[in-house]
Every structure is written in C-alpha cells, then in structure tokens.
Amino acid sequence: MRKVAYIIPGFSESNKQNAYKKIAGFFRKKGIRPVPVDISWKKGVMTDYVSQAMKRIKGKDVCLFGFSFGAMISLIASTKIKPRTLILCSLSPWFKEDIDATKKFFENDKKAKKFINTPSWRKQIIELYDYSFNELAKKIKCKTILLVETGKGTSVSVKRAKDAKMKIKNSKLVLVRGAKHNIRQKQWLSKIKEVISTL
C-alpha cells in the first residue's frame, strides 16, 4: 500500500494556500500520497478540530503533518491512531502547561492581545486547559520530527518545541533559523522539503 501523509494547516489557514500545495508536492516527490485535511475553524474549539481531523484520517501506517494549531491537532490525533511518523511544525504553545505564559507573552503585542480576548478565543482557551502536553507526550510512540522557527518574537514556540523534544521519546528537533511564525517563508519551505526528503 502506498504511504500516505495527512496535512493539517495552521489556525484559519487552508490547504488551498500555496505553501501547503508546495508541501503536498514535496510528499509526492518522495512517493508519499498527500491528503489535505482542512478544518472548519469558525466557532469551534480544539475538541471539534480534532474530531474533524479524525474523520479524515484512515489507517495507522501514516504520516501526520501539521503547522501551529494543525501540529497540535496532529499530536493529539497521534495518541489515538498511532501513526508511523509525526512532523510538527511550530507546535502551538497552547497546552495546559503553556497557557499562562503564552497569554502573558501575547499581552505585549497589541494586535495579539485583542485577538485572544475575543469571546471565541476566551472560550477556546478555557477548553485548552483540558489538554496536558505532559500526559499526551507519554502516549506518543512514533518517530516525531519537531521543527521550530527562531526569528524575533518566537520564544514561546521555541520553549514549547524544546520541551516536546525532551518529553517525546523518539523525537528530533530541527531549527528553522531566522524564520517567523509563517509557513509561507522560504526558510520554512526549504527546511520542510529537506525533512520530507529523509522519510
């Protein structure tokens, strides 16, 4: 059976965007069939997003690829379906253990502060306290590749990725130097292409 990779985009993003189309192409070049998993983001919370993804993912001998919230969805889903490989790009720092520090970090950004204080995000954050990274990490047995940006304003993402590297047994950390939290950047796409080529 041909290998399959499920691609879960970041919050409010879609596989129709050019960056995700390029990533799908990287998988095809490696002989892996890419399957886009688009999430209906409006008014949902993490439980809804994971449920949507789980309905699309078939089989266990698969690769789950996610960016940001998509990486968080991939990680949570991996504890239920046991994939062969996890590729987590800029794993979202919104697990139970992260929330207070992440909220404090965003308080310094006027636009981000306004965003996380909207009614829908306040609801989102309350529900995210149900997801303990420490507990989820114990259930991950597959090969896990963590990619994280190191550009300005990325300290919470780096902290989350380094903690994940320590707690997920079969994991590797790849730094995307100079990049920000934007999968469209050439640094991101170049490093993702490199990682996929090693699968």
Distance between CA 67 and CA 76 in Å, rounded?
A: 13
Length of the chain: 199
pLDDT at site 112: 78
Between 149 and 121, the higher pLDDT residue: 149
Position 143 in a domain: yes
* pLDDT grade for 185, boundaries at 50, 70 and 90: very high
pLDDT at 184: 98
Q: Is residue 30 predicted with pLDDT exceeding 50?
A: yes
At 97, the pLDDT band (50, 70, 90 cuts) reads very high
pLDDT at 145: 99
Q: ∠145-151-156 over CA atoms, to 5°? A: 65
Judge whether residue 76 has pLDDT over 50.
yes
Q: How far is CA 191 from the centre of its chain?
A: 15
Taking Cα atoms as reference points, which of 38, 134, 143 lies closest to residue 83?
A: 143
> Domain for residue 117, yes or no?
no
Instruction: Examine residue 104 and state whether it is found in any structural domain, yes or no.
Output: no
Q: Please, which pLDDT band fits residue 1 given cuts at 50, 70 and 90?
A: very low
Residue 157 CA, distance from chain mean position = 11
Confirm if 104 and 83 have CB atoms less than 8 A apart: no
Mean pLDDT of 162-184: 97
Is the per-residue pLDDT at 44 higher than 60?
yes
What is the average pLDDT score of the chain? 94
Cβ neighbour number for residue 134 with a 10 Å cutoff:
11
What is the percent of the chain where pLDDT is above 90?
A: 83
SS3 42: coil
At 112-125, the pLDDT tens digits run: 778 788 888 889 99
128 lies in some domain: no
How many structural domains does the chain have?
1
Rounded to whole angstroms, how far apart are CA atoms 121 and 55? Answer: 24
CATH number for the domain harbouring residue 20:
3.40.50.1820
Q: Could you tell me if residue 120 is inside a domain?
A: no
For helices 119-128 and 99-106, the axis angle rounded to 10 degrees is 150
Domain housing 153: 4-94+134-197
Query: What average pLDDT does this structure show over 67-91?
Result: 97
**114 within some domain:** no
Mean pLDDT value across residues 10-28: 98
| pLDDT, mean of residues 64-76 | 98
Beta-carbon contacts of 92 under 8 Å, excluding residues fewer than 6 positions away, are 11, 68, 69, 71, 72, 160
**Residue 102 domain-assigned (yes or no):** no
pLDDT at 56: 95
Cα 85 to Cα 18, 61, 142, 171, 180: the distances in Å are: 24, 8, 6, 10, 24
Q: Please give the residue that has the higher pLDDT: either 94 or 109.
A: 94
- Closest listed residue to residue 52, CA positions, set 43, 44, 64: 44
The partner residues of 176 in beta bridges, in order of sequence, read 149
The answer to whether position 44 is within a domain reads yes
Using an 8 Å Cβ cutoff, are 11 and 38 in contact? no
